[in-house]
Every structure is written in structure tokens, then in C-alpha cells.
Amino acid sequence: MNPYQTRASGCKPELLAPGGSYEKARIAFLYGADAVYAGGRSHNLRIQSRNLHDEELAALAFLARSSGKRLYITLNSLMRPKDLDLLKPTLEYLREIEVSGIIVADPGALLLARTISPGLPLHLSTQASTTNHLSVRFWEEQGVRRINLARELSIDEIEAIRSRTSLEIEVFVHGSMCVSYSGRCLLSTVMTRRGANEGHCAQPCRWSYRLVEEKRPGEYFPIGEDGQGSYILNAQDLCLIEDLHRLAGVGIDAFKIEGRMKGAHYVASVVRAYRRTLDACRRSRGECGPDDISRADIHAVSHRPYTRAFMFPDDSQDAPAVAPETSLVQTHTLAGLVRQRPRLDEDPIGTTPIEDGRTPDWTHLEVRSQLRLGDQLSFLFPDGRNLEHTIHSMESLSGQILDRAHPNTRIRLPIPFPTFSMQVVRLSRRG
């Protein structure tokens, strides 16, 4: 059975995951996403991400349709005159390959999409700063089918909007946040001439700032009183996994995970955690929360301190949305991805495990972090299992015995359990 098809399509709320590359989009589907949002090589706000070229977009659209999943394409940059001319062939191509919808923020892009690809479902980006039901009604009249509400809203405000519209509502539940209102920032443009709303944000809000007096070069003084410097713009990372049952009860149609610039380990771990938690809530039909596996997953990925941001403003126990420092928390890293020959007759996307009653002789691994003999690997399975393996031997593909393996190489290891292509393998960070 194709593992992408083990979950019924059409379940609500939809779990929407980032696809910063073709590879990461496939991993998101594999680890439980109902839908993926991805960008082409232009017109999106993560232009520095790997993104997808036209052939990859077509392949991913076909994969989504054949697996009962959905693919949304981001065209959410704010358009300059030249951008609108370049957008026309893109819209024609997306209509041709039958993507599930496009995400826009610019009214001009929306009007152009309605003209060129009238049947293409339109989703409105959080960049549009939609904060009330009359704004929702306005966008509905323009042909929008789904709106990602502004991140600044509370659960009560979302519920008030939900009660007055039948339009699909989407909210972010996890990932990095921008300190500017709904991500409309000019800081990067002013300081580096890299336009944030054109997909080139340099993230100067994450930089560590110090005070220097012009006649004392090299003498830096902290702006804050605690001696750690000033990070007043340094937003924490959003995490609402403990509150999914409350959000689902409001009637939200889609929960969105941020992270098209994040790696495969982040995608697999966070998607798996939210998938398991959503499924548990659906089964319990009442109050529920993440299990220990899901909590471990979201803390294993690289992240800033977590916050619930503005969702529950009356909760005095909530952490502030700005971190006192900029360092990332990272306990694990991506060891590599399993690479096996696909069984094309049964699984064109190559994710069928080898389960023929024998122990596989070798598992081929595309290495992403340096590996050494004695390292403990953890193979992540979509159902929540983590199977451990200590590296006692490894070889190059030509059979050379290795005592260490470097990133961007491929090796083979004797693994005593079935693995599958695109499986994410985790490695504990060394001290």
C-alpha cells in the first residue's frame, strides 16, 4: 500500500505543511501532511529556498492528486509592474498541471489569476492582514475560497469571525514569526536592500545589536540592562500543539506549519507531531494533547524558545512573544535520508518498505551530517516509532570500509529492520 494513501482525504482540520523543495514536500506527505504549500522559482516570499522548477511542480501536483493530498502554490509576494507580466505564464502553467490552489497576497495578482485561470482556487495569504469578518466578506466577493487570518488575532477573535462566515479559515500553529504586522516588513529593505515582501528577507530583526560611541571604536555596550544585549525584535517560535483541541473546536479548516526554509528533519518531526496530535483529538472527540513522542519531536528540531504568541492573551502564564536572546535550541540534527531503489511496479514514489520476510542486507544513506563509528542513529517512522541503530560498520557504495562519513556522500549500513526511501534519520548532537 502506498503510505501516502493510508489516511482518508478531506479530513478536517487539514494539516498543511511546508514544501521548501521537492524532497521536503514528499517528506511532508510521507509523515502525515494532508496538504503542502510550495513555491516555484518566482513570486513567492521564500525566494531563497530551494523551491521547485516546473517539472518538479508538475510531478508534485500529480503525486498529490494520486495520493488524495493537496498542493498549494505560493504566489504571495507584493507585485511590481514587471512581476505581473511574468506572472501570466506561471498562472497558465499552474492551471495546466492542476494544482489544488494558489496563495496570493497582492490584489493585482488575484485579479490576474481570476482572468487567466478562473477555475484555480484562490487562497489569501496572511500578508493581507485579514482581522475581521467584513474583510473576509470583501475577499470572498473577490473570489477567495480560503483565508489565512492575521497571526495577531486571538482565539476569541477567530471564533467571532468563524461565526459570521462560511469561507474556509486557516491559521498558523507552528514555526518562526515575524515581528512586523502580518509579515509586512521594510527593515530588511532599509538595511540591506533585500526586500522582505519580494522574498529576500535578510532577517535583521534576528541580529544581535550593541551600542557603540563614535570616538570609542571597538567598545560595545549592551542596550539592555541585563548585559546580554538587546533583542527587542527577536520573535520566539510559535507552538500551539498543546491547544489543537481548542482551535479545532472553533471550526478552523486548516492548521498551517511554517518552515519552507527549514530542513527535512524539521519537516518530518513537526509534521509527525501535529499529525499524531490531530488524530488523537479526532479519536477522543474532546480535550486532548500531544503524547510524549510528539512533544519530543517538536523539541528535537532546531527552534527558538516556544510561545503561543497572541492566541491566548488572557493567559498570564504565557511566555512573551519576544526572546531575550537569539540562540537556537537544537538537540538533534539530520543524520541523513534513506535512499533505496524504488519498487516502480508498486510504488512510483519509492516509499514502500522492504517487508519480504528477510532482513535487508544494506540500507543506503545519503549523509547530511558527519557520521562516526559508535554514533546512535534514530530512524523515524510516520506512525511515531523511532528505531535505534548504533553504527558498528559502514561502507562506501564501492565497498570501502569507513570509520567516518562526510556530508553529501552516500554510504551503506547493515540495518536489522526494514527501512524505506526518503526515511528521515536523526542524530543526537554531540557536545
Domains and CATH numbers, the chain: 8-184+234-307 (3.20.20.70), 333-428 (2.40.30.10)
Tell me the C-alpha distance between 364 and 221, whole Å.
51
Tell me the C-alpha distance between 426 and 332, whole Å.
7
Question: What is the residue-level pLDDT of the chain in tens, covering all 431 positions?
Answer: 444 443 333 457 999 999 999 999 999 999 999 999 999 876 655 555 567 999 999 999 999 999 999 999 999 888 888 888 889 999 999 999 999 999 999 999 999 999 999 999 999 999 899 999 999 999 999 999 999 999 989 999 999 999 999 999 999 999 988 776 566 666 666 566 666 565 667 666 666 666 777 777 777 765 554 444 445 566 788 999 999 999 999 999 999 999 988 999 999 999 999 999 999 998 887 678 899 999 999 999 999 889 898 899 876 555 556 655 556 778 899 999 999 753 434 444 444 454 443 344 789 999 999 999 999 999 999 999 999 999 999 999 889 999 999 999 999 999 999 999 999 999 987 65
Tell me the C-alpha distance between 349 and 144, whole Å.
32
Cell of 220: 560595545
What are 19's strand-pairing partners?
A: 38
Half-sphere exposure of 19 (CA within 13 A, CB side): 32
* Cβ neighbours around 55 below 10 Å, total: 10
**How does strand 168-175 pair with strand 144-148?**
parallel
CA nearest 62: which of 30, 90, 97?
A: 97
pTM: predicted TM-score of the whole model, two decimal places:
0.84
Q: DSSP of 137-176, one letter per residue?
A: HHHHHTTEEEEE--TT--HHHHHHHHTT--SEEEEEEEE-
Interaxial angle between packed helices 264-284 and 292-300, expressed in degrees from 0 to 180 and rounded to the nearest 10:
160
Question: What is the sign of the dihedral through the CA atoms of 151, 156, 158 and 161?
Answer: negative
Amino acid at 128: A
